[in-house]
Structure 1
Amino acid sequence: MLTVSKKKYAYLEKLSDKNKMINALAIDQRGSLKKMIAANSTKEVGDEGIINFKIEISRELTQFSSAILLDPEYGLPAAEARDENAGLLISYEKTGYDATEVGRLPDLLPIWSAKRIKELGADAVKILLYFDVDEDDAINDQKLAFTERVGSECMAEEIPYFLEIVTYDANNDDVKSAEYAKVKPHKVNEAMKIFSDERYGVDVLKVEVPVNMNFVEGFAKEGEAVYTREEAMNYYKEQSEATHLPFIFLSAGVTAELFQDTVRFAKEAGSTFNGVLCGRATWSNSVAIFAREGAEAAQEWLRSEGRKNIEDLNVAVAESASPWTDKVQVAK
């Protein structure tokens, strides 16, 4: 059981739906989103394009989400445009990592702090950490210290700390391969164990599902299954047992339909996950429309397909997730 202050508990409630589950929308992408827009546009896409796209997403979709995750570099106008009932998470890390350096080391945005993020009116601080549990100790120790520092800041400010863990294999860059699928359960579940330690001060883990669903029997193309259905279910159960903290699933860019199926599969497996923080699975198909046809055309898509994606996912989460209040108590 996680024990938090009354202030942190109140913030978590602001990020949740009436069932105390988190149905949040993620659009804190920066470099990758700029590339997505540019790839579909015939003209130069500057900062204004990415800012305006985030505004459209926030304005149209937060009325169906319990919260939205944004970045302070391009996302602050979108934060202002969100529905009055939607909570706000803000990313604190620099986007991406230096591919010329070994270890995918994280870094913080230099003019931001947990205090400044809180002063924006945010309800949580989010950090993205690339982590390979089997990587050299000299690299991982830097990441552990990094995570501790942010945890200390959030504790001092009494604001929830969401740690997003994206796993990888230092010896295999292809995380979509069958080879990586075989080691993914180990990578995901062991990382969760590590960062559940009280010393890191994490309140909510934002994590991948422990298997690549494209390689699960019944979901995989013929001849491509890496896990039987039963093996996959066992990995979901192990994931729940790896932490006492609330945890929510990220969508990792899969289709809306597959993510909804994944959420239901997790429930069937006995997972005690507490919601989702879903990005591209909800809105990625609107990027090309925005880039080629403009804001009005994107609005039309968001009001139909985008809304449907979120509402369908909300139904899946309501049927499948557990309230985080099962895992959190207020300090006396």
Structure 2
Amino acid sequence: MAKVQISKGKFEGIQACADANGIIAAAAMDQRGSLKKAIAKARGAEVDNAALTEFKTAVTRILTKHSSAILMDPEYGLPAIEQRAPGTGVLLAYEKTGYDATVKGRLPDLLSTWSVRRLAEAGADAIKILLYYNPFDDAAVNEVKHAFIERIGAECAAIDKPFFLEPLAYDDAIGDEKSFEFAQVKPKYVTAYMAEFSKPRYGVDVLKVEVPVNVKFVEGMKVYGGQCAYTIEEAKQHFETAAAAATKPFIYLSAGVTDEVFRDTLELAAQAGAPFSGVLCGRATWQDGIPIYGEKGLAALEEWLEDRGVANITALNEVIAKGAKPWWTIYGGLENIEVVG
């Protein structure tokens, strides 16, 4: 295999987000509107931005002792990243949360007072963009999204920062992404976007992707609900097919499932031989702390995080250590990378 050239800044940024073995075991804490609503629901009253920052800070201070990196938003999370454990990498989100539901296509938008340069100045080792993406949507919609990602890629390249892209599959004709109907098409959608955004033109360095199946519809899984979209063997094949479509390192996101379900999912991925390079795991680790915080306050949240939160992330790390491959595996090994610049 010919040597792969990676610029110094991008190489160092990815390494900053990975552990000593090249595995990215990152915690995600960039939730904004949805987290605020969840805290308010638990509290039974509106909450201010300070509560959001307080929650993020507690999670960051405690869980980054067991994470290689933390994903944060610059709107409410900058005080939190100051509390991270030494040696923890920082990914900062660049997109606005959510999307304009009045416009067709779930089009993305950027935080208006931020740029890649400004995010880097705020401490980012890498930049993260979330993109709702249907590979089979109208060409006019996807052309807007393709150009959007090309611009982000160019902006990251200009100041030599790694670009982590998180595509999320959807199909408005089907609706609910958690439905049986969507589960049937999900493998095709995830495989297609992994192939698309591996193309050099986008400048993506790491893909943060969904697992290509909904495990609730995998016959034989613990969480199986009785409606079969795929057998265990078919699910493994979907993992293998999607992984083969990527020519960039990829990590899995937890997508809001419970910690136990996410661990079982990663074990299935490992059994399928999918060379994932770790995870960016948010709610699976800390979501059960939201009602604790809402009802009992900060001290109770910190106590829960030190106990259950740490247990969740430790158990997850054990699964990752067994199944994940170093991010440089896809390039033929660390020795096959030439760092330039």
TM-score range, shorter chain: over 0.9
State the match for 1:241 in structure 2: 244
Runs of 4+ in 1 over 3 A off after TM superposition: 220-223
Structural mapping, 1:28-67, within 5 Å: 28-67=30-69
- Kept after mapping to 2: 8 A contact 1:130/1:165: yes
- The 8 Å contact of residues 218 and 224 in structure 2, kept in 1 or not, is answered as no
Letter in 2 for 1:239: A
* One-letter amino acid of the counterpart of residue 311, structure 2: K
The whole-number CA distance in structure 2 between the counterparts of 1:156 and 1:305 is 42
Instruction: Supply the distance in 2 between the matched residues of 1:35 and 1:99 (Cα, whole angstroms).
Output: 18
Q: Which residue of 1 aligns with 2:7?
A: 5
Counterpart CA distance in 2 for 1:221 and 1:93 is 34
CA distance in 2, matches of 1:34, 1:105: 23
CA distance in 2 between partners of 1:228 and 1:124 (Å):
37
1:249, CA displacement in angstroms? Answer: 0.2
TM-score, with normalisation over the residues of structure 1?
0.98
CA distance in 1, matches of 2:84, 2:257: 25
Letter in 2 for 1:82: R
Unaligned runs of 5+ in 2: 332-336
Q: Which residue of 2 aligns with 1:317?
A: 320
- In 2: Cα distance, 1:99 partner to 1:147 partner: 20
Instruction: Choose from 71, 79, 94 the match for 1:69.
Output: 71
- Deviations along 1:60-93, whole A, 9 cap, x unmatched? 1101000000000001001111111110000000
Aligned to 1:210: 212
The 5 A counterparts of 1:52-201 are 52-201=54-203
* Aligned-partner Cα distance in 1 for 2:329–2:195: 19
Deviation at 1:222, TM superposition (A): 5.6
SS of corresponding position for 1:40: helix
Shift of 1:208: 0.2
CA drift at 1:43: 3.0
> Match of 2:258, as an amino acid?
T
Q: Which amino acid aligns with 2:23?
A: M
For 2:230, what is the secondary structure of its paired residue? Answer: coil
How many residue pairs align between the two structures? Answer: 332
Any stretches of 5+ residues in structure 1 without a counterpart?
none
What's the offset of the Cα at 1:313?
0.5
Q: Kindly indicate whether the alpha-carbon contact (under 8 Å) linking 1:63 and 1:85 is maintained by their aligned counterparts in 2.
A: no
Over the aligned positions, Cα root-mean-square deviation in angstroms equals: 1.1
Instruction: Give 1:240 deviation, angstroms.
Output: 1.2
3-state SS of 1:130 partner: strand
Q: Over residues 249-292 of structure 1, what are the superposed CA-to-partner deviations in whole Å (9 max), with x where a residue is unaligned?
A: 00000010110111111010010100000010000000111111
Which residue number corresponds to residue 334 of structure 2?
Answer: none
Whether 1:330 aligns to 2:333 is: no
Q: 1:299 corresponds to which letter in structure 2?
A: E
Deviation for aligned residue 1:330:
2.9
Q: CA deviation at 1:331?
A: 4.1
What one-letter code is carried by the residue in structure 1 that aligns with 2:189?
K
2:103 and 2:320 map into 1 onto residues whose CA distance is: 39
**Does the CA-based 8 Å contact 2:157-2:203 persist in structure 1?**
yes
Partner amino acid, structure 1, of 2:322? E
1:127-162 C-alpha deviation (Å, 9 max, x unpaired): 000000111011110000000000000001100000
Equivalent in the alignment of 1:261: 264
Alignment-mate amino acid for residue 7 of structure 2: S
Q: What's the offset of the Cα at 1:122?
A: 1.0
Measure how far apart 1:197 and its partner are.
Answer: 0.4
In 1, distance between residues paired with 2:141 and 2:261?
34
- CA offsets per residue over residues 212-268 of structure 1, 9 Å max, x none? 011001125463111011110000001110011000000000010110111111010
